[in-house]
A and B are shown apart, each in its own frame.
Chain A
Amino acid sequence: DQQVKQNSPSLSVQEGRISILNCDYTNSMFDYFLWYKKYPAEGPTFLISISSIKDKNEDGRFTVFLNKSAKHLSLHIVPSQPGDSAVYFCAAPHYNQGGKLIFGQGTELSVKP
């Protein structure tokens, strides 16, 4: 049972344009969400998070939007840069199970110059 889903395995965007990465979840108990960025041969690095008491969190070029009724969140990157090319994972901590992170399958973003 995949409780966090990223249905787009890949996304290609032109440099300078907006990148929108989507994530859906099924567990209504989730109240905190994180986005991680992963380069090849490296571990995931934390990018941005959002609590369910908010519907938006912004950090520089990165903004995460949360729609609780739709159980959907999205990560916007504006403007996209070639260095943003990586795999992006959304994740949610499962507090009833020791706080483990439940990850989506990841979306590979390619930003073309």
Chain B
Amino acid sequence: DTAVSQTPKYLVTQMGNDKSIKCEQNLGHDTMYWYKQDSKKFLKIMFSYNNKELIINETVPNRFSPKSPDKAHLNLHINSLELGDSAVYFCASSQVAGSSYEQYFGPGTRLTVT
């Protein structure tokens, strides 16, 4: 059983398009996160939701919009994709909001914008 799953694993698209990445966790956790790993391999937080409520919103362009329909799902929608959005995006989940401790990560979605 996959604890944190993401779809798709690979996404190749053109500049200006709108795309979504989906994330689901079956761990019963109440907090979910989106991280971005850029070309320099830095892993940086983008968003966090606790029980469908946004609790972390880093300095991310507003072309990025997370949506959490329920606490097991956190999707990431990106409008008007740009070349600089090319990266690997990881979803993660943890049990306790405000105290991340161990976060469980999905396999990542490699987004390539051409």
Contact across chains for A43 and B41 when beta carbons are under 8 A apart: no
A31 to chain B, nearest CB (A): 11
Q: How would residues 13 to 50 of chain A score, 1 for a CB under 8 Å from any chain B CB and 0 otherwise?
A: 00000000000000000001010100001111110010
Contact across chains for B107 and A42 when beta carbons are under 8 A apart: yes
With contact pairs A41-B108, A106-B41 given, residues A98 and B98 touching in the complex (Cβ less than 8 Å): yes
Does B48 sit within 8 A of A, measured CB to CB? yes
How many residues of chain A get a CB closer than 8 Å to chain B's CBs? Answer: 22
Contact across chains for A44 and B56 when beta carbons are under 8 A apart: no
Within the complex, which residue of A49, A95, A103 is in contact with B44, where a contact is CB–CB below 8 Å? A103
Does B43 sit within 8 A of A, measured CB to CB? yes
Q: Which of chain B's residues has its CB closest to A96's CB? A: B98
Residues of A within 8 A of B94 (CB): 99
Contact across chains for B101 and A93 when beta carbons are under 8 A apart: yes
Contact across chains for B42 and A99 when beta carbons are under 8 A apart: no
With contact pairs A43-B90, A95-B98, A98-B55 given, residues A89 and B43 touching in the complex (Cβ less than 8 Å): yes
How many residues of chain B get a CB closer than 8 Å to chain A's CBs? Answer: 30
With contact pairs A103-B44, A105-B40 given, residues A49 and B108 touching in the complex (Cβ less than 8 Å): no
B36 to chain A, nearest CB (A): 11
With contact pairs A43-B107, A100-B45 given, residues A95 and B101 touching in the complex (Cβ less than 8 Å): no
Contact across chains for B42 and A43 when beta carbons are under 8 A apart: no
Smallest CB-CB A-B distances: 4 pairs:
A43-B105, A98-B56, A100-B45, A99-B100
Interface of B toward A, CB cutoff 8 Å:
4, 31, 33, 35, 40-45, 48, 55-56, 58, 90, 92, 94, 96-108
Interface of A toward B, CB cutoff 8 Å:
32, 34, 36, 41-46, 49, 87, 89, 93, 95, 97-101, 103, 105-106
